[in-house]
Amino acid sequence: MAQDEEKSSGEGLDAEAYNRRRRGRSLAIAFVLAGLAVLFYVVTVIKLGPGVMNRPL
Amino acid sequence: MIDLEATRSGAFAAGGNASVRDFVALLKPRVMSLVVFTAFVGIAVAPGGMHPVLAATALLCIAVGAGASGALNMWYDADIDARMGRTRLRPIPRGAVTPGEALAFGLVLSVFSVLTLGLLVSWAASALLAFTIFFYAVVYTMWLKRSTPQNIVIGGASGAFPPMIGWAAVTGTVSIESIVLFLIIFFWTPPHFWALALYKSADYRRAGVPMLPVVAGDAATRRQIFAYSLILVPLGMAPAAVGLGGPLYLAVSGVLGALFLGLAWQVRRGEGDAAARRLFAFSILYLFLLFALLLVEPAIGIAPFASLAGGLS
């Protein structure tokens, strides 16, 4: 891709900023995954209702 | 594709340096807001109703799917974006996100949004969402955008699908009502974008994108804008004919349509960039108000007209 004049915003940044961004991304992924788990749980309860535990094995 | 970049400017450019905000920018949040709104209207006006949590889940999946196609678009179009003033500060041209990161981000979100919508809400809606992402990322971005001045006419379909997905999330089907909502956005897109392209044509010319004003000239674009507006305005009133709108909708959509045609006519007569800017701004308001009316009218107790489609729907 043509980005000749563009410089990576990473250049010149110290390790601290790099680590801070990585930590931010990790936290965001953690929240999204936790949210997804909660979502599937809640929708399961809604769709199956009180009968959620009352199923044949 | 990213290897050259990565090796040239050292370790950081190999990726891993983007903030959360950069990734959010890949989702095109402003486009997403229109998608969420029209999808919400599709859900709200569909017969039958659904559990609020399921409705919210459907909206979330549609929003994430739309964001994913935005990220795929920015991955593929990074070369164009770097050459246009409007887009040169997007995350990839700015160097904050590598193309590979954007591609992975877009693909993962596409798969998750489609599967989640299917598993939790409706496979019919899920299939439509998958088709929408495919249409925007592959048919529009990879194929049409660079090859034909009709790019946005057909590509506009991807922006028109959200209310249809919302409708399908509730009803499990595609029917005349959701087709009308689709057609409104479909025929709204060309006058909306060509009005923008008229006063941004230098940008598109520099980037080598064959937008209509670049390829066919201003005069042809102005004629096309007016022609599409003539199709759009009756369609904008059509919800009143398929059982979605009542007297208030019919009246207001008629007035808004007349205003739209008036502005389009000013563009048609070639009244410079100012007319195109006015039409562009008004077109956003027009679409927003039409869909908002579909929500408001039932909420204040005005019943829609009986559908002319009768047994068809």
CA distance B167 to chain A (A): 19
pLDDT tens-place string over residues B106-137: 999 999 999 999 999 999 999 999 999 999 99
Mean of per-residue pLDDT scores for chain A: 78
Distance separating alpha carbons of residues B257 and B254, to the nearest angstrom: 5
The predicted structure's pLDDT at residue B199:
86
A13, B95 Cβ separation under 8 angstroms: no
Res. A11 pLDDT band, cuts 50 70 90 = low
For residue B33, what are its two tokens?
Answer: 């807001």
The predicted structure's pLDDT at residue B123:
96
pLDDT tens-place string over residues B148-172: 888 888 888 889 999 999 999 999 9
Distance separating alpha carbons of residues A22 and A18, to the nearest angstrom: 6
How many other C-beta atoms can be found within 10 angstroms of the C-beta atom of residue B216?
14
Residue B272 has pLDDT above 90, yes or no: no
For the segment B190-211, the average pLDDT, to the nearest whole number, is 88
Residue window 73-132, chain B: list those with CB within 8 Å of chain A.
78-79, 82-83, 92-96, 99, 112, 116, 119-120
Alpha carbon of B248 to those of A43, B113, B165, B235, B301: distances in Å? Answer: 37, 36, 26, 16, 11
For the segment A24-44, the average pLDDT, to the nearest whole number, is 95
A5, B94 Cβ separation under 8 angstroms: no
CA distance A12 to chain B (A): 9
The predicted structure's pLDDT at residue B122:
94
Residue B6 has pLDDT above 90, yes or no: no
Res. B276 pLDDT band, cuts 50 70 90 = very high
pLDDT tens-place string over residues B226-252: 999 999 999 999 999 999 999 999 999
Distance separating alpha carbons of residues B113 and B109, to the nearest angstrom: 6
The predicted structure's pLDDT at residue B49:
81
- Pairs from B25-28 (Cβ < 8 Å, separation ≥ 24): B25/B90, B25/B91, B26/B67, B26/B70, B26/B71, B26/B74, B26/B91, B26/B97, B26/B102, B26/B105, B26/B106, B27/B64, B27/B66, B27/B67, B27/B68, B27/B70, B27/B71, B27/B109, B28/B66, B28/B67, B28/B70, B28/B73, B28/B74
Question: Domain spans of chain B?
Answer: 14-174, 175-308
Residue B5 has pLDDT above 60, yes or no: no
Q: What are phi and psi of A4, to 5 degrees?
A: -55, -45
Res. A57 pLDDT band, cuts 50 70 90 = low
The predicted structure's pLDDT at residue A52:
66
Alpha carbon of B59 to those of B36, B41, B219: distances in Å? Answer: 6, 10, 40
Angle formed by the axes of helices B272-299 and B247-268, nearest 10°: 170
The predicted structure's pLDDT at residue B116:
97
The predicted structure's pLDDT at residue B13:
52
Residues of B in contact with A2 (CB under 8 A): 79, 82-83
For residue B222, what are its two tokens?
Answer: 């102005």
The predicted structure's pLDDT at residue B249:
96
Residue A9 has pLDDT above 70, yes or no: no
User: Residue B46 has what DSSP assignment?
Assistant: S
CA nearest to A48 within chain B: B120
pLDDT tens-place string over residues B61-111: 999 999 999 999 999 999 999 988 888 899 999 999 999 999 999 999 999
Chain A interface with B: residues with Cβ < 8 Å: 1-3, 6-11, 13, 18, 21-22, 24-25, 27-28, 36, 39-40, 42-43, 46
Kindly indicate whether the ipTM for this predicted assembly is greater than 0.85, answering yes or no: no
Mean of per-residue pLDDT scores for chain B: 90
CATH number of B14-174: 1.10.357.140
Res. A13 pLDDT band, cuts 50 70 90 = low
